[in-house]
Structure 1
Amino acid sequence: MHSESYKVVLLFNANNIYDRQILKGIGTFLKSNNIHWNIYISETMRYESNISFNFDCDGIIANFDDPDIEDLLKEVNIPIIGVGSSYPDDLSYPNVPYVAADNYAIIEAAFSHLCAKGINKFAFYSIPPNRYCRWAGVRERIFEQILKKKGYKGVIYQGMTTSLDNWQESLDKLSIWLQSLPINTGIIAVNDARAHHILQACDRVGIKIPEELCLIGIDNEEVINDLAMVSLSTVKQGTEEMGFNAASLLQKRFSNGKFPKSPLLIAPKKIIARRSTDYRSVQDPYVIQAIHYIQDYACKGIKVEQVISEMQISRSNLEIRFKASLGKTIHSVIHEEKFNQAKYLLTDSSLSIQAISEQCGYPSVQYFYFLFKKLYGMTPKEFRDKYVTS
């Protein structure tokens, strides 16, 4: 038997992963608590804010990062739960119970990830100021605060608001900025979409990621990563938890429960480390060149002899350089690169293990299983079950 049913309106732009994951969290709350709501959400997954609000409903959960939605609801006398970005001062929050993505924790997590890779030069790629991206300005200021606190210097580039008409111009200007950065700079992109711009600009001008610049985004937007030339490290926000808590607050309101007076801040879930921050502090030019070659061709079945031939120095010389720079043999680095790709495909694709084995240069899936278990203590299937990202 269902509990009492309430009519609830969800105002979101579910064309992006941030909103979709919040909606998923709302659904998780309802299912885990056996609660039935009569839910309205636009067929286009985005409420048309130019239409006046005249719904007969009991409650609303809305994304207040969209100022049009915030304006729409100012005069609505219905229980509302807001979700959206965190802000540095209480006056910036709407006057409703609010669940926020903790922007300080998000930027700090990205910064700490780069620091752990040995990066000590930093940059931030943002978005030009506009009322629809207030969260970008917040993240810029947090980036500056963290750098000052840690004693580092960094630069911020906002770039252009892109469209089909100015896309090439924006990439040209972004490329010039990227070329001005010192080698081994770590870049935090304000979101994964902006990180994708960087990957494309670097590809155009021949900047190697992560060997010359490191890059981390925010959101874990699967579509963006599928389109990326280099797999993108990213901060996975606690968006499902945001949706879960927002739904919980609205249900408490229906039961006349108490609300927290301050916004409920939700920390990011985790860093998803991929190729774009797989930085190695290597100075030897022969080793750097060999690593580039291995990364490009490891999964095509190259052997140590082919790497030696490409570098045009003796095997003993290059092996000594690899040991000094990486503490590893050329052979082990080739296999490491193949397994890095295998781990990425296991957790971020739906390819069969047979297909992954072949793509990574192991025609025999049995041999692939043997080597994988020897290295990681579990089979590829066990690895996928354990680490697949939701």
Structure 2
Amino acid sequence: MKRHVALIIETSSSYGRDLLAGIVRFMRMHDEWSVFLEQRDLRKKPPAWLRKWNGDGIISRATTPDLVKAIATTGVPLVELTDRGEDLGLLQVRSDDHAIGRIAAEHLLERGFQKFGFCGFTGEAWSKRRQDGFVEALGAAGFDCDIYNSPWHGPSVRSWEDVQSKLTKWLKQFPRPFAVMTCNDMRGQHVLDACSNAELAVPEEVAVIGVDNDDLLCRICAPPLSSVIPNAEAVGFRAADLLSQVMNGNNITESSQVISPIGIATRQSTDVVAIDDPEIAAALQFIRENACRGISVDEVTQNASISRSTLERQLRKYLGRTPQEEIRHVQVGRIQELLLTTDLSIERISTLCGFEHPEYMHVVFKRLTQITPGEFRRQSQA
């Protein structure tokens, strides 16, 4: 007999829809649930039907203290996906927000930026964790970060014109070039609009990166917004797996679990290298655009009209890597993206990333990541 499970998850955001996709994938693999989907706003009161609902389990993205009280009276097990506020002491799965902030910082550092800002929402725990991860990663690299936060919801929210006026003033105070991480793609759109108001060129004067990789929203932005890709589908899958274990009587020792992000979807808003030396900037851009053709260092120096010794010296200065290491760095990043987001064979990925022989790709990948491509794909799927 199938178990009755309620899903209290919003479908208005790409993140919520990806959570549902992960839950559906679990359901298709196990075929043991009958599901009721309650589509609701994240801030609504608990549904009235919940107090009398005779079900077996709940996965909720709209968990509030009132909802916890309502569910407690039923005795039904709950896995929560909420990441907005305090820890409610429930079994929880969420994205690794610190890691999201960290890889956004790494992405911008790789482009040579030395001035940084973070733009988020006050009172949102997920935004604060992403801010902390971003600031900590920059601090470890020896850089400071200026913070701008304002309310997202509630009575203290100002008019759009007032918010954009303050955001524009904040952006104008940065020495150029600089880079800004925003807590999500919606906030990224706010920053890009303010950059337009401030007559700041993106990405030449300011690079902007968001979070969630909401493809439609990112492409509506002008220019298209780069974004960190959280693994929301894996969050949903893991939540479904945990709920299944609890309903089967298993004891879960780790009450809060986090899922690492996939990587970066690079679009025009960060497609730049913030280096004062135009020859070095051109060399890095050439590497970024052509590494997966299997280029050599000689091709890079010929394209940038620069000596090999100068290129070696300047890349060590700016990035801490040799030109060959930078080529491999770009190739491995692309390999990771294809392993995570496609079902392509290792052989096909090897060809797409500029390696003539898959065996050599294995060697390079393991040297840089300490695991094989196959192990990387299996771990990400797990």
Secondary structure of the corresponding residue to residue 45 of structure 2: coil
C-alpha distance in 2 between matches for 1:115 and 1:195 = 18
2:270 aligned residue: 277
C-alpha distance in 2 between matches for 1:180 and 1:75 = 53
Offset of residue 146 of structure 1 = 2.9
Contact kept? 1:159, 1:174, Cα under 8 Å? no
- Cα deviations across residues 268-303 of structure 1 (Å, max 9, x unaligned)? 011111111111235479xx9xxxxxxxxxxxxxxx
Offset of residue 252 of structure 1 = 1.4
* Identity fraction in percent: 26
Offset of residue 165 of structure 1 = 7.4
C-alpha distance in 2 between matches for 1:279 and 1:81 = 41
Offset of residue 136 of structure 1 = 1.6
2:104 aligned residue: 110
Contact kept? 2:178, 2:207, Cα under 8 Å? yes
Equivalence map 1:200-211=2 (5 Å): 200-211=193-204
Equivalence map 1:129-208=2 (5 Å): 129=123, 133-161=124-152, 166-208=159-201
User: Aligned AA for 1:137?
Assistant: K
* Aligned with 1:17 (options 9, 14, 19): 14
Contact kept? 1:219, 1:236, Cα under 8 Å? yes
Offset of residue 101 of structure 1 = 1.0
C-alpha distance in 2 between matches for 1:68 and 1:13 = 18
Post-superposition, which runs of at least 4 consecutive aligned residues in structure 1 deviate over 6 A? 162-165, 373-377
User: Aligned AA for 1:28?
Assistant: R
C-alpha distance in 1 between matches for 2:174 and 2:38 = 44
Contact kept? 1:63, 1:69, Cα under 8 Å? no
User: Aligned AA for 1:42?
Assistant: E
Cα 1:64/1:264, change in 2 over 3 Å: farther
Equivalence map 1:1-390=2 (5 Å): 4-33=1-30, 35-42=31-38, 48-52=44-48, 53-54=50-51, 55-63=53-61, 69-70=67-68, 72-73=70-71, 75-85=73-83, 92-129=86-123, 133-161=124-152, 166-281=159-274, 283=276, 323=305
User: Aligned AA for 1:245?
Assistant: R
Secondary structure of the corresponding residue to residue 192 of structure 2: helix
Q: TM-score, normalised by structure 1?
A: 0.66
Q: TM-score, normalised by structure 2?
A: 0.67
Cα 1:323/1:67, change in 2 over 3 Å: farther
Unpaired runs of at least 5, structure 1: 289-319, 328-346, 348-372, 378-390
Cα 1:8/1:177, change in 2 over 3 Å: same
Cα 1:197/1:31, change in 2 over 3 Å: same
C-alpha distance in 2 between matches for 1:242 and 1:375 = 29
Offset of residue 118 of structure 1 = 1.0
Cα 1:107/1:43, change in 2 over 3 Å: closer
Unpaired runs of at least 5, structure 2: 282-301, 312-337, 339-350, 356-382
- Cα deviations across residues 338-365 of structure 1 (Å, max 9, x unaligned)? xxxxxxxxx9xxxxxxxxxxxxxxxxxx
Contact kept? 1:65, 1:135, Cα under 8 Å? no
My pick for the range that moved more, 251-260 or 231-240, is 251-260
2:359 aligned residue: none
